[in-house]
Amino acid sequence: MGTYREDSRDRSVGTIGVCMLWDARTRLAINIENQQLLDQILRTAQTQYSVGQASQQDILKTGVELAKARSDEALIRQEIISAESMLHAFLNRPNNVPIGLVTLDSLIPIQHSLATILLYSSGHHPMLSQDSLILSRVIYGQHGTSGIYSGFQDIC
């Protein structure tokens, strides 16, 4: 059994993989719908151009947008493959085992104010506290200004 830190890291990797896969699949669905709409717009623009009600520029603009959407689809499909590969490795499954439908629970509203979150983070983040302490010492002259900190008093 791994340590708490290792287990936490593993859960984080799994969560990131699931979120990446959900995001990529959702963007792919939206992209495909957009392509269908652009295809309909392109056919309409071609029909209007053939009867003299639209310019050739309308056809070209729509064609460029459709080509960009198809290019984006290829990139999104690569992201899906990468996310699935990461999950397969994380779950120690062979690549030929499909990953099913990924759904996310509804978002939980944040129940704390920004001030409360900032207060908590400053009290529980040692590096932030240490950096703040070093800066205050440099600014207020409680620390020598030699080396890397020289010039801070001039700036602040």
| Gap between the Cα atoms of 22 and 99, Å rounded | 11
Residue type, 14: G
Task: List, for residues 60-114, the tens digit of each pLDDT value.
Answer: 999 999 999 999 999 999 999 999 998 888 888 888 888 888 877 777 787 888 8
124 versus 17: which is more confidently predicted? 17
pLDDT score recorded for residue 73: 97
| Gap between the Cα atoms of 47 and 54, Å rounded | 8
What is the Cα Rg of the chain in Å? 27
User: Mean pLDDT across the chain, nearest whole number?
Assistant: 81
DSSP character string of 71-138: HHHHHHHHHHHHHHHHHHHHHT--TTSPP-----PPPPPP-S-HHHHHHHHHHH-HHHHHHHHHHHHH
| Gap between the Cα atoms of 129 and 24, Å rounded | 37
For the cut 70, the answer to whether the pLDDT of residue 120 exceeds it is yes
Going by pLDDT thresholds of 50, 70 and 90, the confidence category of residue 141 is low
Task: List, for residues 25-44, the tens digit of each pLDDT value.
Answer: 999 999 999 999 999 999 99
For the cut 50, the answer to whether the pLDDT of residue 149 exceeds it is no
31 contact partners, CB below 8 Å, separation of at least 6: 69, 72, 73, 76
- Where in the chain are the domains? 4-91, 114-155
Task: List, for residues 12-21, the tens digit of each pLDDT value.
Answer: 777 888 889 9
pLDDT score recorded for residue 10: 65
Going by pLDDT thresholds of 50, 70 and 90, the confidence category of residue 156 is very low
